[in-house]
Amino acid sequence: MKNKMFVSYLNSLHNYNAQNPNSYGEKNVGNEFFEKVMVKVRLCDFIVNKLNTEVPHVIILTGHAGDGKTSIMYQVLNELDVNFNPNEKIHDITLPNNKRCRCIKDFSELADNQKKEVLEEVVHLPKKDTFVFMVSNTGPLINTFGELFSDEETESAKIQLIEAMDDNEGSCRNIMGFDICVVNVAAVDNTFFATKFLEKVIDNELWKNCDECSKKEYCHILKNQFLIQKNKDKVFDFLNYHYIWLMEYGKRLTIRSMTEQLTYMITGGYNCEDVERIDLYKNLFSNLFFGFLGTRENKKALNIIAIREANKCSYYTKRFRSDEAFLSDYSDDKYMRIFSKDVAEIIKKAEQKNGYVSGWDELLKRTYIFMNINTDEEKVIYDLEDIFSKQFKNYISLRKGLSKPSKSDFNLICDALSMIFQGTITNEQVVQITLSRDTGITQNVQLVTGTIMRKNIKLITVKSQDSQYNNNDRYILKLMISDKILGCNINLPLFNYFEELKNGVISTSIDPQLSHGIESIKAEISALEEDDEDTFELIVLKNNGTDNIILSINDKNELVEA
């Protein structure tokens, strides 16, 4: 129990046992371990740079509760060599360039009658050559800001502030006569955080005291640290992909949520004194991560938001092409071939008890997802496709800017557009825009209202707005048709849906998120130029392909083939 303090610190970061004092930023920064596990973010540099080089204005850091706003303020002040006192709500500092700056730790925590007074004062400070750097939740900020103005102006003031938060450009703008820069952390991709944080947490230096502990032979906490360390690449890759997947599917997690999941995944909610001799497989981090204890689901763990979301993904219930290697192989050394020796031993021992228990296969798959030792490139790609989706790896590489859209991505999009408009792929050269209805039944004769040459369609990547705040750039996929970039993004769910369309999966009641994406694409494309010519092109869908009929009305008012 030599590492008691640290393990108990980790446990204080999640709410499995309903005691998580340190999950609140202002408490956490005061802890001795905070410095050791803190992940430095580029947003800090962004703000420091503003304070150092720009003319005084109000910098507001806002976002979800638990998004790490207080930590960012801590980092900024640290960078500026100012001591951060978590108990002091408002304090004035002098910047290295001798300018003054008023820091407000959490505006939303001020007493209601104080808020208006404080905000009233600070918005005027830039005119007195003083910066303001404040952290605030959005709601109180928007409301109090509205209160600064007359009844007629209130609405407009609020809307302008909301616009700034939503645009999240990071530049200073004039809002109702005040110079304000709003940085909304909620709209910033934070998926990089997980691995950086975990890397610090499993740093051997923090665990060296455990060497002298009497429980070290059977301590699952130490074992988890060791196994994560040993399978670091696989674990980190998976974590990174998983959080990106969630974000793309509209389930972005806050820093606090990720922290909760990652710390719980190591300790399982146990403090050093609670560690007993139990089978190691039960509290293996790969089980804890998804809210399982061995083969059983642990309802209590699902109270942790991030665990609940991971559990909903249930990757381990999907079919993997690598299944055969461990599900239908009965040889003695099969686990040695897919896992490292330590893992294989734990699993083999567990199999004796659980081999025929329902949920065993899923347990194996969870272990496989985190700790397989496949290095064969082809197999690794198969795994990614099976765990996530066929287009996932490709999408990730486009998202990270590691590659540009390829010919096959382009074909995928064009085919999907044909499917969306006509219900079938009819022409290799063009995408025909038709006036078809979304009733689920494809109309067998359709009128073409516009034609887009495939060569005029481009899939491009655009750097995201939040890249400027981040450690890594993120790219967004967009459609460009005849040099016009469409407003809607091609996100991962759409990309996956396109792949399914290509493979002939047509579903009529798709989830609203997708139907919205497709609806926007249709709306935008249909509004593009309609061809004006006096010809009518009909597409006739038949069992054995399609016919294209082109008619026009001649001078004698007769219908002729054009």
Partner 1 sequence: MNTFPYGMDKDYVNINETKKIVSSALFGNRFKVDQTLYEYLIEFLLIFSSEKYDGENNYKFKFHKINEENANCLSYTFEPRMGLRRFIFFDKSKKVGNSKADECAYNMIRQYLFDNLVDIENKEEYVNNLQDLLHGYAVVIKKRFWGAKALLPICPEFIVCGCDPSKHERKEVDKSFSDKIQLGRVTELEIDTKFHFDKRNFLARGGELYYLHLLQGLQDESEKCSKLEALLSYMLNEPCKKLSKIADHIQNIWEKGNGFKKESLKETLKISYIPDDAYVSCEKFSIDELINYLSCQIHPINRIDILAKGVMLQIMRMMACQVANCLETEKRPWIVDMNGTSNKTIKKIAAESYINLENDFISALNKTAQRIEVPSEQYVDEIKKARRDSLDIFRLKGKEMQCIVPYKGSFERFSLSEDVIRFLVLSLVPPKEKMTLKMFLSKLYKHYNMVIGPNEYKKSVKNYGELDSSLANAFNENEFAFQKFLKDTGFLRELSDATSIVVNPYSLVDIGV
Q: Quote the least distance from Cβ 496 to partner 1, whole Å.
A: 16
Question: In this complex, which beta carbon is closest to partner 1, that of residue 228 or of residue 518?
Answer: 518
Q: Quote the least distance from Cβ 14 to partner 1, whole Å.
A: 18
Q: Quote the least distance from Cβ 143 to partner 1, whole Å.
A: 10
DSSP three-state, residue 447: strand
Residue corresponding to tokens 């040889």:
331
Give me the residues that bind partner 1 (CB under 8 A), please: 62-65, 67, 137-139, 142, 158-159, 162-163, 165-166, 184, 186-187, 250, 435-438, 443-447, 449, 487-488, 511-513, 515-517, 519-520, 522-524, 526-527, 530, 536, 538, 540, 549, 551, 553-554, 557-561
Question: In this complex, which beta carbon is closest to partner 1, that of residue 159 or of residue 453?
Answer: 159
Q: Quote the least distance from Cβ 466 to partner 1, whole Å.
A: 13
Question: In this complex, which beta carbon is closest to partner 1, that of residue 275 or of residue 488?
Answer: 488
Instruction: Please state, in angstroms and rounded to a whole number, the distance separating the CA atoms of residues 198 and 203.
Output: 8
DSSP three-state, residue 222: helix
Instruction: Please state, in angstroms and rounded to a whole number, the distance separating the CA atoms of residues 43 and 385.
Output: 33
Instruction: Please state, in angstroms and rounded to a whole number, the distance separating the CA atoms of residues 151 and 142.
Output: 15
**Per-residue tokens: 232:** 């670091």
Q: Quote the least distance from Cβ 385 to partner 1, whole Å.
A: 26
Cα distances from 348 to residues 233, 304, 339, in angstroms, run 23, 30, 11
Instruction: Please state, in angstroms and rounded to a whole number, the distance separating the CA atoms of residues 310 and 319.
Output: 17
What's CA 150's distance to the chain center, in Å? 40
Question: In this complex, which beta carbon is closest to partner 1, that of residue 92 or of residue 163?
Answer: 163
Question: In this complex, which beta carbon is closest to partner 1, that of residue 55 or of residue 559?
Answer: 559
Question: In this complex, which beta carbon is closest to partner 1, that of residue 381 or of residue 441?
Answer: 441
Question: In this complex, which beta carbon is closest to partner 1, that of residue 268 or of residue 450?
Answer: 450
In 355-444 the beta strands, taken as DSSP E runs, fall at: 430-434
Question: In this complex, which beta carbon is closest to partner 1, that of residue 256 or of residue 399?
Answer: 256
Q: Quote the least distance from Cβ 408 to partner 1, whole Å.
A: 27
Quick one: which of 67, 123, 59, 147 has its CA closest to 95?
59
**Per-residue tokens: 507:** 């579903």
Q: What are the residues whose beta carbons fall under 8 Å from the beta carbon of 427, sequence distance 6 or more?
A: 418, 548
Q: What are the residues whose beta carbons fall under 8 Å from the beta carbon of 84, sequence distance 6 or more?
A: 29, 73, 74, 77, 78
**Per-residue tokens: 177:** 């006569």
Question: In this complex, which beta carbon is closest to partner 1, that of residue 382 or of residue 536?
Answer: 536
Q: What are the residues whose beta carbons fall under 8 Å from the beta carbon of 338, sequence distance 6 or more?
A: 322, 325, 326, 344, 368, 372, 373, 374
Q: Quote the least distance from Cβ 559 to partner 1, whole Å.
A: 5
Number of Cβ within a 10 Å radius of residue 252: 18
Q: Quote the least distance from Cβ 449 to partner 1, whole Å.
A: 6
**Per-residue tokens: 203:** 């740093």
Sheet of strand 457-463, all strands in order from the earlier edge strand to the far edge? 457-463, 475-481, 484-489
Q: Quote the least distance from Cβ 438 to partner 1, whole Å.
A: 7
Q: Quote the least distance from Cβ 245 to partner 1, whole Å.
A: 17
CB-based contact 50:115 (threshold 8 Å): no
Question: In this complex, which beta carbon is closest to partner 1, that of residue 249 or of residue 410?
Answer: 249
